[in-house]
Amino acid sequence: MSSVRQSRCQVYWSPHDERIFARVATELKLYIVDDVEDFDHLTHISPSLQLSSHCYAKQICTVPEEDAYAALKCVSWQNQPDYPYSFAIGYNNGRVALKRFTVDEMGTVSFTPLQAQALNPRGQARSCTDIAWNTFNPDILAVGLERSKNESTFLVLDTTVACDPVLAERHRQISSLPKGIADAPLQMESKVIFDPVCMDTTCSLAWVPGTLHIATGLNSKTIKIYDLKDDLAKSRPQMMANHKAVHCLSFDPKLHYRLVSCAENMVCLWDTRNFSKPVSC
From 166, 159, 132, select the one nearest 12 (Cα to Cα).
132
Using pLDDT thresholds of 50, 70 and 90, give the confidence band for residue 82: confident
Average pLDDT, integer, range 132-144 = 92
Measured CA to CA, the distance from residue 79 to residue 136 in angstroms comes to 9
Tell whether pTM > 0.75.
Answer: yes
Q: What is the reported pLDDT for 7?
A: 53
pLDDT at 278: 95
% of the chain exceeding 90 in pLDDT: 37
- Tell me the average pLDDT across 151-158: 86
Average pLDDT estimate for 135-164: 83
pLDDT for position 279 = 95
Taking the C-alpha atoms of residue 111 and residue 180, their distance in angstroms, rounded to an integer, is 29
Question: What number is the average pLDDT over the span 65-85?
Answer: 82
CB atoms within 10 A of CB 102: 12
User: Region 217-234: what's the mean pLDDT?
Assistant: 88
The pLDDT, as a whole number, for residue 182 is 39
Please tell me which residue, 98 or 77, carries the higher pLDDT value.
77
What pLDDT score does 165 carry? Answer: 54
Per-residue pLDDT of 189-206, as tens digits, reads 577 888 887 889 999 999
Q: Is the pLDDT of residue 125 over 50?
A: yes
